[in-house]
Amino acid sequence: MKIRTRLQIIAIFSLAIALVIGLVLFLTAQRVNKEISGLKIADEIAKGVFELNIITYEYLLHHEERMQTQWQLRHDSLTKLLTGEEFKSPERRLILDRMHQNLESLKALFSQLVENYKRRGRKESALSRELEERLAGQLLVKSQAMVSDASQLAEASRAEVAIAQQRSSLLVMVFVAIMAAIIAAVSFMFGRSVVKPIRKLHEGTEIIGAGNLDYRVGTTAKDEIGQLSRAFDEMIGKRKRAEEEVRLLQTITFAISETGDVHSALKIVLQKVCEATGWIMGEAWVPNSDGTNLECSPAWYSRVEGLEKFRKESEKFTFPLGIGLPGRAWSSKKPVWVGNVTLDSNFPRAEIAKGVGLKTAMAIPVLIGDEIVAVMDFFVFEARKEDERLLEIISSVASQLGSLIQRKRAEQEVRVLEEQLRQSQKMEAIGRLAGGIAHDFNNLLTIIKGYSQLSFGELKEGDPLRENIEEIRKAADRAADLTRQLLAFSRRQVMEVQVLDLNTVLKNLDKMLRRMIGEDIELTTLLFEDLGRVKADPGQIEQVIMNLIVNARDAMPRGGKLTIETANVELDKEYARTHVAVTPGPHVMLAVSDTGVGMTPEIKAKIFEPFFTTKEKGRGTGLGLSTVYGIVKQSGGNIWVYSEPGRGTTFKIYLPRVDELAEELRVKVEGPELPRGSETILIVEDDEKVRKLALKILEKQGYEVLEAGGGNEALEICRGLEKPIHVVLADVVMPGMDGRQFAEKLREVCQGFKVLYMSGYTDNTIAHHGILDEGLDFIQKPLSVDGLVRKVREVLDK
């Protein structure tokens, strides 16, 4: 029989008293409900303050714009709660007003920080770092004050609930006493079923008010008090779960934010989740290097017999997409719950789990955007029904973990880019120094080489001086090679570019390369069909290939495998973002890989620096790879090296692809005799010794030669000259007037002459970014007798 029916029976005897007491009870119950409602609102305020703090911390770490929107939403909802009329007591009203003031102060501080970060993004003047840190500190202090006030409000509300419930209990007991006097017999029959649950409710309010959220009334009655008791138990259970969830999220968030790597963060999450939820084992599965399978990474398990065996067996497994518990979460990108893994047909470890006694399992994916970076699975011995709330909690933890991994990735990318930029700047500085040295040295080498060649030719066979001069010539040639390599590294040599098919270049070099590497090294070429074309100097590209082949050969003293590969590749924005100086777009890749000794990170960091070598003394100048680096860079490309000690090395070159037809490779055929002539040649060179040498060489070959130390002097000579000038041999870089400016002014005085420019390094006068302007003739210093005579004849015969 319901309480309502019992009261109706009793009301027959004392209707008037029952009505009055019922009205009092109704009002008291309303009061209790109102205070309970106030307690819920206080809890909502506390939860809102906590969420606002979490968003504030995340914004201070990441400065993401989406955090601003979330922060504003939490601020608006808190403002609405704090300005409501639910709380009448002066004590709680005072706390609410103080919290509202703090919230507005918090908003002002947060707005200042947001504006400052925006100014940074626009590169406008921003607050000083010291002031910015002070704002952040004030923000955290205000946030902490809000947390403290929220706790006081919740405590005050609990106290009001306890008081209201005590009053309600007192009125109920008075009601019972009065009714007992009127209907003693009925009260004797039904009093026990009514008073006992009410007493338990009363005790429960006091126990819960003391902070013990584990208390439960636990009644089985079907009447209204039973329903109220069950509702009371459910409310306390929800309250406890909510507080546990908040504590768990807070603990894990702080823990993983302090870890130094993803592996440690995963292990902490596994341990904290298991300890907080009662699950006995957790594992993390991460994609392998090629992204085809999940591999077992860290794990945590309680010290229960059998779990260590299960863990060791699990390490032998990998899971492709859709297979096994981790594979299903990987495929669906959603949590997966299995009530009994020993009966699941898609659980390859079922027999192992059965032997250990594991039953229920769940898997939670860790995502960054739409990318799965890990899958966590958890196990427990007993069979459990799917707990949606638990899945939501752990999914929230996985979301926090995903944010951490994303931040760690960004930090790693920044470190890599900073190192690449530092290395690039260092190489640029070394290149400038090397180019300057090579420029000055080339004039000296021109004199040494030229006069030694002239002297050698004038000495008779058997003359003892011929051997000495021959050694001088050889030394000068070696010095000239060094300067050419320095110019290549510093990107100051003049390039005569053609549209090339790298496959054709490699095929032409095939026999030479095989002779270079020897019989104990296996050479494999993987040439991509329909390979794109590139613009480069064919001679310099051949030098790049041969230098890389020699380097690979020396890395395999006991033989090995050498692979040359070409391919069309598309370098996207993501690749360019993580590699300094890379421009996205279509490229042609040339890769040279060996199975040699490999390199340590320390050696790899210096591998392109000039004069750095790991070879023994006398077996290398240390300019081979620096030359490769300079040629690739001057050709508009990039070169990257991948190597590990004992596992070989791969050099990958990326050159921009062009949509032009490949040109036929030009081959120079030179006769045995030096060509002669009788034409008039004007030499314009500010270095007197170089000028005199060129004059002597050309006069010896029959030419009529005029000389000038600069542009103005040469113009004066030409104005008074009656016969034509056939070739002007002009230095590119001269004081007052450069070679090209002189040639243009000379055309105002006379016509019909050709110009041959000479220089020790590239200059924007005749070459841009090292590429010779179309239609111009150029000879590189240091000059040699043979080279100068043949080049002059070539220009004259055009």
d(CA 194, CA 176): 9
The verdict on 182 and 308 lying in the same domain is no
Q: How large is the average pLDDT for residues 222-242?
A: 64
Residue 643 has pLDDT above 70, yes or no: yes
Residue 322 is predicted with a pLDDT of: 92
Residue 126 is predicted with a pLDDT of: 47
The verdict on 645 and 544 lying in the same domain is yes
CATH code, 780: 3.40.50.2300
Q: Is residue 468 part of a domain?
A: no
393 pLDDT band (50/70/90 cuts)?
A: confident
Mean predicted lDDT score pLDDT of the chain: 77
Tell me if the bond preceding 782 is cis, omega within 30° of 0.
yes
Q: What residues form DSSP beta bridges with 564?
A: 525, 592
Helix 129-182 / helix 184-209 crossing angle, nearest 10 deg: 170
Tokens of 664: 């036929």
pTM surpassing 0.85?
Answer: no
d(CA 42, CA 404): 31
| Residue 743, number of CB atoms within 10 A of its CB | 22
d(CA 605, CA 595): 20
Q: Is residue 727 part of a domain?
A: yes
Residue 766 is predicted with a pLDDT of: 55
Q: Residue 298: in which H helix or E strand, if any?
A: strand 294-301
771 pLDDT band (50/70/90 cuts)?
A: very low
Backbone angles phi, psi at 438, to 5 degrees: -65, -40
Using H for helix, E for strand and C for coil, what is the string for 487-546? HHHCCCCCECCEEECHHHHHHHHHHHHHHHHCCCEEEEEECCCCCCEEEECHHHHHHHHH
Tokens of 485: 């390599």
Least trusted range by pLDDT, from 97-101, 183-187, 428-432, 488-492: 488-492
d(CA 562, CA 553): 8
Residue ending a domain, among 658, 688, 718, is 658
Residue 520 is predicted with a pLDDT of: 87
Q: Residue 405: in which H helix or E strand, if any?
A: helix 388-458
Residue 341 is predicted with a pLDDT of: 92
Instruction: Return the higher-pLDDT residue of 766 and 385.
Output: 385
The verdict on 520 and 594 lying in the same domain is yes
Q: Which of 58, 190, 104, 781 is nearest to 480 (CA)?
A: 781
Instruction: Return the higher-pLDDT residue of 429 and 690.
Output: 690
Q: Please say whether the beta carbons of 421 and 580 come within 8 A.
A: yes
Least trusted range by pLDDT, from 316-325, 426-435, 465-474, 518-527: 426-435
Q: How large is the average pLDDT for residues 760-774?
A: 53
User: Mapping DSSP to helix (H, G, I), strand (E, B) and coil, where does residue 673 land?
Assistant: coil
447-496 confidence digits (pLDDT tens) = 777 777 777 777 777 777 777 777 777 777 666 666 655 555 444 455 56
Q: Please say whether the beta carbons of 588 and 655 come within 8 A.
A: yes
Q: Residue 748: in which H helix or E strand, if any?
A: helix 739-749
The verdict on 706 and 782 lying in the same domain is yes
The verdict on 292 and 371 lying in the same domain is yes
Tokens of 609: 């620096």
Backbone angles phi, psi at 649, to 5 degrees: -140, 145
d(CA 88, CA 171): 23
Residue 253 is predicted with a pLDDT of: 63
CATH code, 290: 3.30.450.40
CATH code, 520: 3.30.565.10
| Helix, strand, coil distribution of the chain in percent, nearest 5 | 60, 15, 25
* Share above pLDDT 70 across residues of the chain, in percent, rounded to a whole number: 70
Backbone angles phi, psi at 244, to 5 degrees: -65, -40
Amino acid at 608: F
Q: Is residue 247 part of a domain?
A: no
d(CA 542, CA 44): 73
Q: Which of 246, 247, 249, 261 is nearest to 404 (CA)?
A: 261
Q: What residues form DSSP beta bridges with 499?
A: 535
Q: How large is the average pLDDT for residues 718-745?
A: 86
338 pLDDT band (50/70/90 cuts)?
A: very high
Range list of H helices, 278-387:
307-314, 324-332, 350-356
Structural domains of the chain, count: 4
Parallel, antiparallel, or unpaired: how do β-strands 294-301 and 318-319 relate? antiparallel
Helix 184-209 / helix 3-11 crossing angle, nearest 10 deg: 130
Q: How large is the average pLDDT for residues 647-653?
A: 90
CA distances (Å), 295 to each of 373, 583, 691, in order?
Answer: 11, 35, 72
Q: How large is the average pLDDT for residues 29-46?
A: 73
- Spell 693-709 as b/e; 16+ CB within 10 A means b: bbbebbebbebebbbbb
Q: What residues form DSSP beta bridges with 656?
A: 587
- Which is it for the CA torsion 351, 353, 359, 362, positive or negative? negative
Q: Is residue 432 part of a domain?
A: no
Residue 537 is predicted with a pLDDT of: 81
Q: Which of 427, 504, 491, 441 is nearest to 661 (CA)?
A: 504
The verdict on 37 and 167 lying in the same domain is yes
Q: Which of 756, 762, 759 is nearest to 790 (CA)?
A: 756
Highest mean pLDDT: which of 273-277, 468-472, 789-793?
789-793
Amino acid at 462: G
d(CA 230, CA 224): 10
Q: What residues form DSSP beta bridges with 368?
A: 371
183 by Cβ neighbours in 10 Å (0-12 / 13-18 / 19+) ranks as buried
Residue 313 has pLDDT above 80, yes or no: yes
d(CA 370, CA 366): 10
Q: Is residue 145 part of a domain?
A: yes
> What is the 8-class DSSP label of residue 658?
B
Q: Is residue 458 part of a domain?
A: no
d(CA 769, CA 426): 19
The verdict on 622 and 711 lying in the same domain is no
Range list of H helices, 63-89:
65-82
Q: Is residue 605 part of a domain?
A: yes
The verdict on 652 and 720 lying in the same domain is no
559-612 confidence digits (pLDDT tens) = 899 999 999 998 887 777 766 667 888 999 999 999 998 888 888 877 777 666
Q: How large is the average pLDDT for residues 26-31?
A: 69
The verdict on 175 and 70 lying in the same domain is yes
Residue ending a domain, among 386, 401, 416, is 386
Instruction: Return the higher-pLDDT residue of 472 and 322.
Output: 322
Q: Please say whether the beta carbons of 641 and 628 come within 8 A.
A: no
CATH code, 42: 1.20.1440.210
Residue 190 is predicted with a pLDDT of: 58
Enclosing domain of residue 634:
497-658
234-256 confidence digits (pLDDT tens) = 666 666 655 655 666 666 666 55
Q: Residue 554: in which H helix or E strand, if any?
A: helix 538-554
Q: Is residue 475 part of a domain?
A: no
Q: How large is the average pLDDT for residues 660-670?
A: 62
Q: Which of 358, 346, 396 is nearest to 376 (CA)?
A: 396
Residue ending a domain, among 386, 413, 447, is 386
Q: How large is the average pLDDT for residues 40-45?
A: 79
183 pLDDT band (50/70/90 cuts)?
A: low
The verdict on 595 and 685 lying in the same domain is no
Tokens of 243: 């507080």
721 pLDDT band (50/70/90 cuts)?
A: confident
Backbone angles phi, psi at 291, to 5 degrees: 70, 25
Supply angle C-alpha 345, 350, 351, rounded to 5. Answer: 125
CA distances (Å), 449 to each of 469, 566, 787, in order?
Answer: 10, 40, 11
Residue 360 has pLDDT above 90, yes or no: yes
Residue 132 is predicted with a pLDDT of: 66
**Residue 361: CA count within 13 A, CB half-sphere:** 27
CA distances (Å), 400 to each of 22, 373, 394, in order?
Answer: 53, 13, 10
Q: Residue 37: in which H helix or E strand, if any?
A: helix 15-62
Tokens 């090296």 appear where?
A: 641
521-546 confidence digits (pLDDT tens) = 999 999 998 899 998 888 788 888 88
The verdict on 518 and 607 lying in the same domain is yes
The verdict on 705 and 615 lying in the same domain is no
